[in-house]
Every structure is written in C-alpha cells, then in structure tokens.
Structure 1
Amino acid sequence: MDDDSLIKVAVDYYGKKKSLRAAQAHYYWGAAYRDMGRIPFAVDKYLDAIQLMPGENEFLAMIYDNLAECYEDEDLYDVAIESYRKSYQIVCRDKKSISYPLRGIAHVFLLQHQLDSALCYFQKAYDCVLAIQDSSMLPLLYNDFSTIYLEKKEYVRADEYVSKAISMMPSDNLSGAYHLKGMIMLGLNRLDSARYFFNKYKDEQDIYGEAVRYNGLREVEKRLGNWEAAMQYADAYMVVYDSIQKLSDRQKLDELMDNHELEEHKRMVSQQERAVIGYLVGTVFFLVLAGIFFFMWNDRRRKKRYIALQRELMQKRVDTMELREEKALESEDERINKLVELGEHQLKLCMSMFEETECYKKLQEMEKATPKQLLSMSSAFRMEINVAIREAFIDVMANLEKCCPALTNDDLFYCVLSLMHCSNRVIIELMNVSSDALKMRKSRIKGKLREDIFKYIYLD
C-alpha cells in the first residue's frame, strides 16, 4: 500500500472514542504505514489502537504481536519481548493462539543470539501446536529449530529439521528453506549439495538473501578450488552488497524523515493540548473570579439588608420609648394595643435577622431530626440555640413583658418559640421540660394574658 487516504476515512468516522471499530481502524492504519516501511508511524498508530480497545480479546493480542514485530525491526528487543508477553497474557488460555507470541519471543532471543532461551520458547510453541494438531505451523517451527541448530553448529540435527520443513512446505514457499539447507550442507562440507540448494534458492525480491546466496556459492567454489567461479560470485556479492548499502542509506534517510514528521506531529498535538489546557485554566480562573465576585456581592447585599433591619428595629425601639412617655395620656387598653402593633413589626424584623444566623439553620435541623436524633443532640447544642433566640428576640420579649408584667422569663421564651411556630417537641427540647409541664405553663400564661393576645401567640 502506497497511500493511507482510504483508511483515514474510517479513522475519522470512528474518532477517538473507545470502541472495537475505532481500534480496528487505527490498527489497519498502522498496518498501512508498516507496509510502506514507515515503522515509527506504524508504532504510533498501533499504540493508539491499544488505547482505544474497550477490553482484552484476541484482536488486542494481535495488535501487540504486530507492535512487537515493529520493535524487532527497530532492534528494540527488550520492548519487543514485553509486547509479546502482553499478547501471551491475553491468549494464555487459548491454545489455538498461544503459539504466536511464544514463537515471537523465541525469534527475539534468536536475534540476540540467546540460543538456549530461543530453543526453549520454540519448544513451548511446538508443544502447543502438537496439542491442537495445527499442521500449518509445523513446517515453520521445523524451520526455526533448524536455524537454532545451525547457529549451534549442530548440523546433523539442523539437517533433520530442515528436511522435515521442506517436505511439508508448499513449493512456492521453499526459498528460505533451500537457503537454510545450503548453509547446513556447507557446514557438513557436502559442497555439491550445498551448491545445489544455493542455486535452488532464487528470490529476486529478497536482496539480502541473494547476497547470502552469492557469498555461500563463493565459499563452495573456493573450497572446491574453482577460483574463477569463486571470483565471479564474489563480484556478484559486492554488487548486491553495494545495492544493500544504498538501500540501507535510503531506509535511514526515510527513517529520519519519518521521525522528523512524527516529532512535528507530536509537537502540533502538544501545542493543541497546551491550548486546550490554557483555555480550561482561563475558564476555571474566570469562574473562580465570578464566584468570588458573586460571593462578595451577595455578602455585601446581606450585610446591607442586616443593617437596614437593625436600623428599623432601633426605630421601633424609639417608638416604644415614645409610647411609654405618652402612656399617661391614653388608657391602658390603648397603650397595650399600640404595644401589640409595634410587637408585630418587631417580631418580623427579629425573625428576618435571626434567619441570617447559623443558629437558625441548627433550629431547622432540630425540626427535621427524628426523635432518636433529637436525643443524641448535646445540651451545649440546645443551649447555643436557646441563647441565640433570647438575644435575637429580646425586643419582642420586652414588649410582651410590658403588655403583661406577670410573665416570667421562661413564659416569655415559650411565647417567642410559639410565635416562631416551633413544634412542641422542639420547644420541649429547648426548654428542657416535659410535655405535661409545658401544658401547665401554657395554661398559666392564658390566665395572665389578654384573650386576643393569647390567641395571637398560640394559634391553636
């Protein structure tokens, strides 16, 4: 594949939200880059696919396998093994798929010339293939075993395995096995057989294999004393070697360009992320400022209202004092009626001011509490509310006392609690009396107050 424009359509369609389809789109995008030889970009897309996977399954294991192969191409062996291990952890209970990551780990060890470790993992993969009777994998593993024993210079065992591989492989896939057979025959010093198999290995697309073939044939002719033929193969080897060097230089240049493009892409993404973070920080900062401004404005408004209530209350106190000075000019009933009228206004003002305090919230908590919760409330909690009510409604209590001097402090407090419409159970808790004692107090107050005032205080 030379172009990734088609796969980009699918990538854009599924977006960056976690889903199997989105992960598949990014995986195939990575595969397209890998086909183009752009390994850094392939790795980047494989990693995106892993992030987009909604869960663990065989497809995720396949992504890790392909990612590991990319790391192998870049000689990042430790990272490659780690990717293979992650794939193995996903499919460890699936005997049909477990041979792939095991064989991949073995290949990485082989590339590092850790032959015993490689042989161990090839054997594990071989055992899994035998268990599921997957004949398609057997020739590949026989070829792997042959490669190991060739590296260990155990040519006889290497020959046994490559012969099995050749007998099972399809005819159009024998080039690699023929090359391996030729190397083994060279190791056994069976030169005619080595020449035969080197000549059978002809894959014009594999320039590296061609170089190895020419080098092998050169060694065969050299050992046979055919110096002219040896020189011809040596010349052919040098021509191919020069091509490999040019190809290697081009690959390095492409890799540098890919890395530059990848870094540029990352830089753009980083700039976008910084822009988003800056926008979010600015938004949060603006919201915090707005919150502070609103809090200050609301607090200022509340304080103004509180001051206005205090002024109005002070004015009512002045009116009360003036009324006391005029008491000689009026009858007792008229004076009390005016005191009651002033008391109504004072009650509203005191109630408005009390509602601004924390104790009002605590009083509401008592009203909403269950009987069990009421019992658990401390005496200090009740005393705090008691004191706050007495302080807030001192003017109301003073007016009631002027209307009826016979009322005691507890009587006045009970009247205020009733004017506040507190429930009986809350009144009992705040006054720390029994229900019967409260009824008796109410009866005594009824005998002391005028009937209209009593009905105003006790609506029932």
Structure 2
Amino acid sequence: MTKALIKNSLPITSDSLINIALEYYKDSGDSLAEGDSYYYAGRISLEMQDSKRAMELLLKAADLTENSNDYKLQYLIYYYLGELYIGENLYDFALKKLNKAYYFSRLLNDSSYTAFVRRDIAISFSGKNSNDSALNYYYQALNILPQKDTATLIILFDEMGGIYNTTGNYAKSIQLVNRAISLKPAYKELFYGYLIKARVYLNTQKYDSANYYYNKTIHSPYIYTRASSYEGLASVYSVKGNYKGAFQLMRIYNKCRDSIDLQTKSAAIIEMQNIYQHEKSKEQIQRLILEKKEQTINFYHWGLLSFIFLLLLCGTFFVYRNTVKKKLLEKSKILLEQENRLIKMREKESKLREDFFKKLNNIKKIPSLGVTNENEKIESLDITAKISLTSSDWDELIRNIDIAYDHFTDRLTKVYPNLNIQEIHLCCLVKIKVARNDLANIFCITPQSVKTTKYRIKKDKMGITDKNISLDLFLEKF
C-alpha cells in the first residue's frame, strides 16, 4: 500500500502504515525485504519533511541491502540520500551518495536513472560554485536522457540557463530558457524559467523586462522562487529610485528567508549521520567507561577483603587470559580458513585454465598457462603461432567457467546485454588470466589491439570510466 501511494504521488501524512512493515520484517531474517521497508519509510519521512528521520532510515536501508543484487533498490536509496543532502545544502555529502547511485544506474543500464543522477551531481557542483563541472554533468544528462522525457528536459534547460546567467553568458542563458518554454512546461514549472529571465535582464540593466518577469514569479507556489523574486524586485525598485517600495519588498523577502531557514536542518542532519556511523564505537566507549568505574570501586573493596578479593582477582585474570586466548585462537582459525579458501579458489582457477587448454590437441604449450606436454621438451616457443579454437572448445570453456565462477557468463550477459559472443569469449579468457600474447594469437590480432579491445569493452559496453579499474581487475572481482 505504501509503495502504491508513493508511486501514484498521493499525499502521505502519517508513517503508521509503513511502521507495520518495519516491525514485521525487523527480525525476519529477510534483509532485502527489511531494507525495502526502511527505504519506503525514509521516503515517507522525506514527504513529511522530517529530514533527520529520513536520513537515519535510508542509511539503515543502505546497510541492509549492501550485499543484495537488487540494483534498482540500491540506486533509489543512494539517489534519495543524495537528494536529501542537496536539500540541506550539504553538497559534499550529496556527491558521495550520488556517485554510488550512478554506479548502480550503470549496472541497471537505465538511461533515465543515469540522467537523473547526473543532473543531481550537477546541482551539487553548482552548489559548490564549481560551474564548469556542473555544466559538464548537465550536458552528460542531456546526452543520455530520452528525448520523450520533456518534463526533465525542461528542468535541465532551465537549470543550465541559471548557471550560464551566473557565469555571465547571458545570451546562452536566454537561449536555453526559451528552449525550455518552447517545450510547453506545466504552469508551476514556468516560474523558474521566468525567474532566470528576470535575473538576466536585471544583470543586463534591462529593468523594465526584469520588472515584468519578477512580477510573474512572485506568484510561484515554491517559496525559494518567491523569495528570489522579491529580492530581485527590490533591486529593480532601488535602481529606479523607489526606495520605499524596495524596503517593503525586502521585508517580504526576509519573511520568506525565515521560513526557508526553519526548514533547513543541516546541522541536525550531519549530527544524525555521525551518530549513526559511530554508534557502535560510542557503545564500546561507554562500556569501557563503565568497566573502569567498576574496577575503581572493586579496588577499594579489595583493600578491605584482601585474601578473598585477591583470589577473585587471580580468577578473573585467568578467565580473562583464557578468554583473550580463545578469541585469538578463533580469529586465527577464521584467518586460516579464509586463507585456505583463497588458496583453494586459486588452485581451482589454475586447474580450470590448465585443464581447458590441455584439451586442445593442436596446442603444445600456452605461455601464460605453463601447459606443456610432459613427454616432450620444447626447445623454442613461437609466440606468434595462431591458436585455433573450435565451437566445441568455446562451449567447453564457458561451461567450465560457469561451474567454477557461479554462472559467470550468465551474470555477465544479464548485467551487460550489449556484449556480443566474441566479447564474452574474450571476457572468459581474461577471467582465467590468459596473457595478452595468447589472446592475440587466439583472436588473430596484435597485442596492442587486444589492449584496445579490452578498453573499448570496459568503456563502451560496460560504461566503466574509472581509469584506475582495468577490465582484468573488474572481471576478477565480478
């Protein structure tokens, strides 16, 4: 029911309904359903303008869904966390969350989601007065956004017009706002475009035009727009010598600003985030303080009951030592198990590579795998020899890799459906760490072309733009 209300943009005035779901899933063991409930509870808190509560709920939702494969839910959680921080003018916090949202939008391969998050990143940079970066992200959003989404196009053109006005490119600003108006925005959305026009005309000393558009925008339903309109009109009145009118307009502007300040709770938001992130640490500190106080009290008692308390102290010491020793042993056991699992995984990977290439009768040795015929000694190795793989060879490779790496090719094609069969073959060989020379011989291309092909797959087909992440590293962890 809560999802239906939110998706249909119906008004929500109470969180009593979603609290039933929160209570139901709290100790169910279903972390995904619990995280979903926390997400919608956070959305409701945002609707009710309780930013502090919304942040707490959305952060909890992020923790619960961290290891899930529900990329859409994870995108929405981080997107609305970013929106929350933008609303509180906390732009550095917003950028961290929005970059995570962008990562999940790329996994989803959803152009609309990617455009929305790019737009919010642009807003964050604009809030930090980094206008060049903001415009860069706005243009990225425009290039990605489906052209049929005229409502979002209108918003992008208007906001870009505002930035060009700030940078002094007034002609470009008016051009973009006129493009937004030509798309016939809804009545409420017209006001922002008019406000940008008014600012441009004020900056270019066309006071009659500025006065005309400011008088339109004072009727906006949005308090931020109204506040800016009254401030701009006051400037126009002042320039024209109507100081009494300017004074009255500034009084109205200050009332609007007071209302806006009451809605902003940046300090409380930061405090709540710090509380949430360091909650466990604070509990540990409190526990240590309590233990210290108890030890102080016991010290004086031991002075009165020396022998008995000495025995208790010795007993406590031995128990403590045994407990520490037990914990150390447990940690060592866990580390050893992890190391053994890693070794087994690497052995499995090595065996998979070796077994596959040993099955190819026309190959005597693959340099990167160290596969040699034990009955022969190869005096020299031609690193340019063509390696021909049949369809059955490739089928066997994919089958082995899917068994060893949890349906690797199925997951790869699901997340990146634009990959063709040759690119999937290349990803499989990269997954099992076949060297570049061998890849060149298998695909009949140069080693440099192998490098170029890897980069193109990473950038164009997977959308990974981080230069610090190679295709090899990404696929190793995939």
TM bin, normalised by shorter chain, reads: 0.5 to 0.7
SS of 1:3's equivalent in the other structure is coil
Deviation at 1:91, TM superposition (A): 1.6
177 and 79 in structure 1: CA distance in 2 versus 1, 3 angstrom threshold: same
1:42 aligns with 2:45: no
Provide the rounded CA distance (Å) in 1 between the counterparts of 2:267 and 2:121: 28
Map 1:191-230; keep pairs closer than 5 Å. 191-203=207-219, 205-230=221-246
* Aligned counterparts of 2:205 and 2:114: Cα–Cα separation in 1: 38
Instruction: Give the alignment's Cα RMSD to 1 decimal.
Output: 3.8
Q: Which amino acid aligns with 1:68?
A: G
The CA distance in 2 between the partners of 1:51 and 1:238, in whole Å, is 41
Q: Distance in 1 between matches of 2:181 and 2:169?
A: 18
**Residue among 81, 104, 126 paired with 1:67:** 81
CA-to-partner distance for each residue in 1:22-59, whole Å, 9 max, x for gaps? Answer: 22210111112223333232122112212222224222
**How far, CA to CA, are the matches of 2:273 and 2:89 in structure 1?**
19
The whole-number CA distance in structure 1 between the counterparts of 2:270 and 2:233 is 38
Change in 2 beyond 3 A, CA 1:257/1:120: closer
| Whole-angstrom distance in 1 between the partners of 2:189 and 2:269 | 34
8 Å CA contact 2:188–2:221 kept in 1: the answer is no
> Quick one: which of 166, 183, 200 aligns to 2:181?
166
Pairwise CA distance, 1:103: 0.9
| 1:58-207 correspondence runs (5 A) | 58-92=72-106, 93-129=109-145, 133-168=148-183, 169-203=185-219, 205-207=221-223
Contact 1:80 1:108 in 2 (8 A): yes
Counterparts of 1:215 and 1:57, CA distance in 2: 44
SS, match of residue 100 in structure 1: helix
Residues 256 and 229 of structure 1: is their aligned pair in 2 closer, same or farther, counting only changes over 3 Å? Answer: same
Q: What is the alpha-carbon distance in structure 1 between the residues aligned to residue 249 and residue 283 of structure 2? A: 54
8 Å CA contact 1:40, 1:262 repeated in 2: no
Alignment pair present for 1:52 and 2:68: no
Alignment of 1:307-386 (within 5 A): none
Conservation of the 8 A alpha-carbon contact between 1:56 and 1:90: no
Tell which deviates more after alignment, 16-25 or 167-176.
Answer: 16-25
C-alpha displacement of 1:197: 1.1
Distance 1:188 1:261 in 2: 45
What is the rounded CA distance, in whole Å, between the counterparts of 2:119 and 2:62 in structure 1?
A: 21
One-letter amino acid of the counterpart of residue 32, structure 1: I
Query: Is 199-208 or 101-110 further displaced after alignment?
Result: 199-208
Q: Call closer, same or farther: CA 1:95–1:243 in 2, change over 3 Å.
A: closer
| Structure 2: distance between partners of 1:243 and 1:46 | 26
CA distance in 2 between counterparts of 1:3 and 1:268 reads 33
Measure the CA separation in 2 of the matches of 1:40 and 1:70. 9
Between the aligned partners of 1:261 and 1:84, the Cα distance in structure 2 is: 19
SS of the equivalent of 1:67 reads helix
Aligned length: 278
Please name the residue that 1:9 is paired with: 20
User: Alpha carbons of 1:222 and 1:69: their partners in 2 closer, same or farther (altered >3 Å)?
Assistant: same
**Percent of aligned positions that are identical:** 29
Q: CA separation in 2, counterparts of 1:9 and 1:215? A: 46
Summarize the Cα distance change of 1:46–1:257 in structure 2 as closer, same or farther, 3 Å threshold.
Answer: closer
The Cα offsets for residues 371-413 of structure 1, whole Å up to 9 and x where unpaired, read as xxxxxxxxxxxxxxxxxxxxxxxxxxxxxxxxxxxxxxxxxxx
Counterpart-to-counterpart distance in 2, 1:20 and 1:266:
22
Contact 1:191–1:220 (CA<8 Å) still a contact in 2?
Answer: yes
Tell me how far 1:214 sits from its aligned partner.
1.3
Change (3 A) 1:134 1:257: closer
Distance 1:2 1:128, change over 3 A: same
Match of 1:234 among 237, 244, 250: 250
In structure 2, the partner of 1:27 is 39
Secondary structure of 1:196's partner? helix
Residues 36-92 of structure 1 show CA distances to partners (whole Å, capped at 9, x for unaligned) of: 333232122112212222224222111110011222234432232121111111122
CA separation of 1:82/1:38 partners in 2, compared to 1, >3 Å: closer, same or farther? Answer: same
Match of 1:457 in 2: none
Amino acid at match of 1:70: L
**Per-residue Cα deviation, 1:270-316 (whole angstroms, up to 9, x for no partner):** 59x98xxx9xxx9xx89x99xx9xxxxxxxxxxxxxxxxxxxxxxxx
Q: Kindly indicate whether the alpha-carbon contact (under 8 Å) linking 2:55 and 2:269 is maintained by their aligned counterparts in 1.
A: no
What is the letter of the counterpart of residue 85 of structure 1? N
CA separation in 1, counterparts of 2:178 and 2:269? 42
User: Alpha carbons of 1:51 and 1:18: their partners in 2 closer, same or farther (altered >3 Å)?
Assistant: farther
Amino acid at match of 2:59: L
Aligned-partner Cα distance in 2 for 1:158–1:253: 31
**8 A contact 1:219–1:230 mirrored in 2:** yes
* CA distance in structure 2 between the aligned counterparts of 1:258 and 1:28, rounded to whole angstroms: 22
The answer for unaligned runs of 5 or more in structure 1 is: 293-460
Question: For 1:138-187, what per-residue CA distance to the aligned partner results, in whole angstroms no more than 9, with x for missing partners?
Answer: 11110121011011011111011111112321123222222222112212
Instruction: Look up the SS of the partner of 2:173 in the other structure.
Output: helix
CA 1:97 to 1:235, structure 2 compared with 1: closer, same or farther past 3 Å? Answer: closer
3-state SS, counterpart of residue 189 of structure 1: coil
**Partner AA of 1:34 in structure 2:** L
Q: Distance in 1 between matches of 2:130 and 2:273?
A: 34
**Which has a greater percent of helix?**
1
User: Shift of residue 257 of structure 1?
Assistant: 13
In 1, the alpha carbon distance for the partners of 2:281 and 2:14 equals 22
TM-score under structure 1 normalisation?
Answer: 0.53
1:439 maps to what in 2? none
Structure 2 gap ranges (5+):
1-11, 292-315, 327-478
Answer yes or no: is the 8 Å Cα contact 1:211–1:241 preserved in 2.
Answer: yes
Structure 1 residues 135 and 156 mapped into 2: Cα distance closer, same or farther (>3 Å)? same
Q: Deviations over 1:97-140 (max 9, x none)?
A: 2101111111110000000001111111110015x653332111
| TM-score normalised by length of structure 2 | 0.51
C-alpha displacement of 1:218 = 1.3
Q: Quote the Cα distance in structure 1 between the aligned partners of 2:193 and 2:136.
A: 22
- Structure 1 residue 244: deviation in Å? 4.8
